[in-house]
Amino acid sequence: MSDPILTAAEMRAAEAAVIAAGTSVDTLMARAGAAVAEAAWRFAGGCPTLILCGPGNNGGDGYVAARRLRARGVSVHVAAWAPPRTDAARAARAAWDGPVVPLEDAPAAPLLIDALFGTGLTRPLDDAIAAPLDRLAAGAALRLAVDLPSGVGSDDGAVLGPVPRFDLTLALGSLKPAHLLQPAAALMGRVAVADIGVPAPGATMHRIARPLLPEPGPADHKYSRGMVAVVPGAMPGAALLAAGAAQRAGAGYVLLADEGAGGADALVRRRWSPDLLTDARIGAIVVGPGLGRDDDARARLEAALAAGRPLVLDADALALLRDRLPLEAPAVLTPHEGEFARLFGDMPGSKIERARAAARRAGAVVLLKGADSVVAAPDSRIGIAPPAPGWLASAGTGDVLAGAIGAMLAGGLPPFEAACAGLWLHGDAARRAGPALIADDLVTHLAAARGACA
């Protein structure tokens, strides 16, 4: 894990703790404004800049940035929607000795910096703000948002009205959920994090980063590297994808319970029997890809649940699981939105809140898949994946993910860490595979993704 993610309330609490320890609001604003100016300078050089300032401390950051940029010789104009309403923002405005024009009168500039609103916005922008913001964004060659683009919900990634697309978003202090959750994340452009001296030691949410995974040593053998059993069913192709993914993600021994299946020569195939899953060397069982939903499928799922081994439950296994929650064995559930709704019903709240509630109900890690995949543990920890290529919306890619997570479980990672590591490998393999990928391509590129984690 890396990069903590804080809600608006958590960010306020983190700032309050720093202020209580002796750092003034003005100092924090000076750091934030300096970070914005530095980011703008690196991003756009010295091109003419228009900074839009709101009435709160986000606007104060904008006034500080304006002063810093002008000191570097940049032509800076400032427009405000309303006068500053906080003491720190008033002080920053007073220190800016250039003109400030009303938002509706502002001329467009090559670089637009949006410092109107930061975190905590819960309603659409007024038309008096949205219309000039749209006009000025359309007239800019480059657009930079301070903390968040004005008009998105910090905690849930909602887009509260018309919001321009930005090229760069500078998160102040910590990432917020909206930086990674759709649909807001699609408007952010590149997201960078500015350290302003506000630590987040108690954060329960993090952006999923490249995992550090050990390479096999001289004493390792195929079983110590992890044994994965894949339980197929009516559609063996899906199980083959999962098995191949487990192999390429680093498992030392992959058993496919279907003696007639194809796949790599290194794949061990056995005729299905519940007794196959009693092998004490099995470190993870993958059930669901291609399983089906008939009585035979249900019997295979029951055998997997009874084995007491760590589980990855995907696809059809999720459709058969509703009456079996909570689970006793360590498990990772990998539903997409449709499977999630069928398994857990209509849950209120953001994607993060729904995944957390589902993990508590299931007694298992829940990986809620999508363009903004969220991993939730029963103890409330959250991992959010960086944006993955849209080309992953292709048949079989979820089966590959299940196999990769199975390899991580069999290698000894706890379920939450295994889900996060498998998800990172999956996304990295997709980036390596490139446009128009198919699931088989992911399997091929998992080896290189795994190699990058040593």
H or E segment and range at residue 384: strand 382-384
Q: Does 123 carry a binding-site annotation?
A: yes
Spatial separation of the C-alpha atoms in residues 454 and 337, rounded to whole Å: 33
C-alpha distances in Å from residue 74, one per residue of 32, 94, 96, 220, 224:
18, 19, 14, 60, 60
Spatial separation of the C-alpha atoms in residues 332 and 205, rounded to whole Å: 18
Q: Does 147 carry a binding-site annotation?
A: yes
Q: Does 323 carry a binding-site annotation?
A: no
Q: Does 114 carry a binding-site annotation?
A: yes
- Kindly state the tokens that stand for 264: 């790599």
- Kindly state the tokens that stand for 180: 């990674």
Q: Does 441 carry a binding-site annotation?
A: no
Q: Does 371 carry a binding-site annotation?
A: yes
Spatial separation of the C-alpha atoms in residues 351 and 346, rounded to whole Å: 12
Q: Does 319 carry a binding-site annotation?
A: no
Q: Does 430 carry a binding-site annotation?
A: no
One-letter amino acid for residue 301 of the chain: L
Q: Does 87 carry a binding-site annotation?
A: no
First vs last C-alpha separation in the chain: 15
Spatial separation of the C-alpha atoms in residues 421 and 1, rounded to whole Å: 9
Extended strands (E) in 253-346: 253-256, 268-269, 282-287, 311-313, 331-333
Q: Does 373 carry a binding-site annotation?
A: yes
Q: Does 369 carry a binding-site annotation?
A: yes
C-alpha distances in Å from residue 37, one per residue of 76, 94, 105:
11, 18, 23
β 142-146/331-333 pair status: unpaired
- Kindly state the tokens that stand for 154: 């910090």
Helix axes 236-248 and 439-451, enclosed angle (nearest 10)? 20
Residue 46 near residue 105 (C-beta atoms within 8 A): no
Q: Does 301 carry a binding-site annotation?
A: no
Q: Does 134 carry a binding-site annotation?
A: no
Length of the chain: 454
Residue with tokens 């109900």: 361
Q: Does 97 carry a binding-site annotation?
A: no
Q: Does 295 carry a binding-site annotation?
A: no
Q: Does 370 carry a binding-site annotation?
A: yes
Sheet of 190-194, strand order: 100-102, 76-80, 49-53, 111-115, 142-146, 168-172, 190-194
Q: Does 60 carry a binding-site annotation?
A: yes
Enumerate residues 6+ apart whose C-beta is below 8 A from 317.
Answer: 287, 288, 291, 301, 304
Within a 10 A sphere around the Cβ of 384, how many other Cβ atoms?
Answer: 28
Spatial separation of the C-alpha atoms in residues 33 and 41, rounded to whole Å: 12
**Quick one: 261 exposed, middle or buried, by C-beta within 10 A (0-12, 13-18, 19+)?**
middle
Spatial separation of the C-alpha atoms in residues 145 and 117, rounded to whole Å: 9
Q: Does 290 carry a binding-site annotation?
A: yes
Q: Does 336 carry a binding-site annotation?
A: yes
H or E segment and range at residue 100: strand 100-102
Identify the three-state secondary structure at position 53: strand
Binding residues for K(+): 58, 114, 150
Binding residues for (6S)-NADPHX: 57-61, 118-124, 147, 238, 290, 336, 399
Binding residues: 57-61, 114, 118-124, 147, 150, 238, 290, 336, 369-373, 398-399
Binding residues for AMP: 369-373, 398
